[in-house]
Chains A and B, each alone.
Chain A
Amino acid sequence: MIRIYVSSVIEASADTVWSRIRDFNGLPSWHPAIADSRIENQQPSDRVGCVRHFHTHDGGMIRERLLALSDFDFTCTYEILESPMGVDHYVATLKLTPVTDGGRCFAEWSAEFECAEGRERELVDLIGGGVFQGGFDALKRHFSRR
């Protein structure tokens, strides 16, 4: 089992950041690596069990199922159903925690998965560096501009 953990501090309240990222269908609106997204079968994007179907800018197609969503804990957990990355049993959680001194929040993005031997480093870099950190960097840019 491989674990990835990436965390960051975003200069906006957890409420504000959450409203930007909670939409399970909203990745293209904040994550620079994602080109498009739709929810399959016309389900609402906050119904647990719904599947988002999206493409990355390099053309990869990924399908992910929403496993848990909590507006109270600012937490979203999902699993990969289909992707070109070659990962198995991939479950990830994105979580915000308010930082009480100052209008900012602590953001954590973690994942556990299995993969073919020898690919661990490459996948940790791709997912942790590209996807998770790339997303946080975009949020930090977005909220520092305001």
Chain B
Amino acid sequence: MLQKLVRSTIIDAPIERVWAVLRDFNSHDQWHTVIKESRIEAGQSSTQVGCVRAFTLQDGSFIREQLLTLDDAQYKSTYCIVESTVPLQRYVATVTLKPVTDGRRTFWHWESTFATPPGRERELRDMVAQGVYEAGFENLRRHLMQGGDLRAPGTAPMPRALPQSCRRVVVSGYGGPEVLAVQDGEVQAPGPGEVRIRQRAIGVNFFDVYLRRGWIPEMLALPGTPGMEAAGTVLDVGEGVTGVMPGDRVACMTAAPGAYASVRNVPADQVVRLPAAVDDDVAAALLLKGVTADYLLRDLGRVQPGARWLVHAAAGGVGLLLCAWARHLGARVVGTVSSEDKARLAREHGCEHVIVTPNYRFAAEVRQHFGDGADVIVDGLGDAARRENFEALAPCGHWISLGQASGALQAVSPDWLVQKSATFSRPVAFAYVPTRAKLAERAERVWGALANGTLKLPPIERHSLEAAARAHERLESRRTTGALVLVA
């Protein structure tokens, strides 16, 4: 059986110089220490295709090899063994060089196929790989550079306990997406109880838009940085921090904004370690949304088999997770979306009936599908859908106001709710993860549901930190599906 052998290296010299040596089929005794003598038979030129070289090795072996290809345009030479005291059978080898254009270096690829007598495969392969190819790399390197060698770039450790430069998105005045601007800054060493994270992916949530618009000024004073969740790697930890170490991959969701940054200090109890199977951008896209779906279903909405759920923005980040998870837990789910594309996606994620409504009209269709209405409504729409939501609610139903994309919800009075004996909730995710253990428990359920297929990974749209404004424009346009992340 033929075996294939590949060895390659980088030579710190321009390709022309390396090729000038290797294209000469008779040069090996000048630079390869395994070759004692080399000559070309029959007085031919060493660049004549078809010529044969006769090698004597240091150990006394004798090999005759024939040049099959010499290609100066492709920097390629092919040759085979025609006679040898070493039992390499049907041996054909190719040397290929390629230029490393950003540094005047050369990539050298040396491969061959050959057969050996039974039982000697490993011995002869190692002999060729190490004794001929790898030794050849070293010998030519020495030959060319006379002792110069390749140094790996510095792998100095991250500075510890020093300020670290970072880029962050800063809102200097409340307004549209255009107020989001990137600034260079510094992040001090983590204080007691804090973890400093090199964030690689940051989740974008509609809540960030509210902060940017100035709807909750007590949470985002000016100038301020929005963002509630991110994932990355721990750089260092402050005094008294246990459970996370430098180098750990982590995700965080924080009660205070500030996540739109490449480096950030966060309280250690708002950080969870990530399993290897969960990438940074997946974690940033799903932590807050997944935890939200988890507390909505388990705690606030207490989902039961057969329960009728109405999920607005069913193709959005939280919506897709809710559809799939509620369905898995036995609930019936009707969703609303603004376009046919989104309807298809919501259906793929488990939504049994999707209402396409660009203008917040859905109550009649919900009642038609569910009989007397929905037991639970997860409402991110806000004021424009206020009356429709009330009409879509079943007796003793539960209206959960999660967001208000269309505008701040006017007061919902007790006298109005009493008409349907209804419950109205206005939850905040962070109240449902008061401790690191609770956060870890909910996060684990999300990653577990993702791993076992209960939750499908929603589409993730990526933007760079510098393009945060465009990410917000996209989110507010209602044209996105799934989750948006910023990469830093």
Contact = CB atoms under 8 A, between A and B. Distances in A.
Interface of A: 5-9, 11, 25-30, 32, 34-39, 41-42, 55, 57, 97-102, 104, 106, 108, 133, 136-137, 144, 146
A37 B462 CA distance: 6
Interface residues of B, number: 40
Nearest to A35: B467
B23 interface: no
B467 to A, nearest CB: 3
B191 interface: no
B10 A7 contact: no
Given A55-B470, A99-B9, A7 B462 contact: no
A92 to B, nearest CB: 15
Contacts of A39: 459
B80 to A, nearest CB: 22
Interface stretch (B102-110, B168-176, B250-258, B328-336): B102-110
A100 B100 contact: no
Interface string B436-462: 000000000000000000000001111
A98 B98 contact: no
Contact of B102 (A6, A35, A55, A104): A6
Interface stretch (B29-37, B147-155, B388-396, B406-414): B147-155
Contacts of B201: 29
A44 B103 CA distance: 36
Given A5-B101, A101-B134, A102-B152, A37 B344 contact: no
A42 B341 contact: yes
Interface string B471-482: 100100000110
A7 B467 contact: no
A145 B467 CA distance: 24
Contacts of A25: 460-462
A28 B459 contact: no
16 contacts: A6-B101, A9-B103, A9-B105, A27-B462, A28-B463, A28-B464, A28-B467, A34-B464, A35-B463, A35-B466, A36-B461, A36-B474, A37-B462, A38-B459, A57-B464, A144-B153
Interface string B332-347: 0000000001001100
B10 A28 contact: no
Given A28-B487, A38-B462, 5 more contacts: A11-B152, A28-B462, A55-B470, A57-B464, A137-B102
B8 A136 contact: no
A99 B464 contact: no
Nearest to B281: A29
Interface string B174-207: 0000000000000000000000000011000000
A42 B344 contact: yes
Contacts of B459: 38-39, 42
A9 B467 contact: no
A36 B467 contact: yes
A25 B459 CA distance: 10
Nearest to B457: A44
A27 B467 CA distance: 13
Contact of A57 (B134, B154, B466): B466
B102 A8 contact: yes
B99 interface: yes
A77 B474 CA distance: 28
B101 A7 contact: yes
B107 A26 contact: no
A36 B463 contact: yes
Instruction: Please name the 4 residue pairs, one residue from A and one from B, whose CB atoms are nearest each other, closest first.
Output: A35-B467, A36-B463, A29-B487, A106-B107
Contacts of B102: 6-8, 133, 136-137
Nearest to A141: B153
B364 interface: no
Nearest to B466: A57
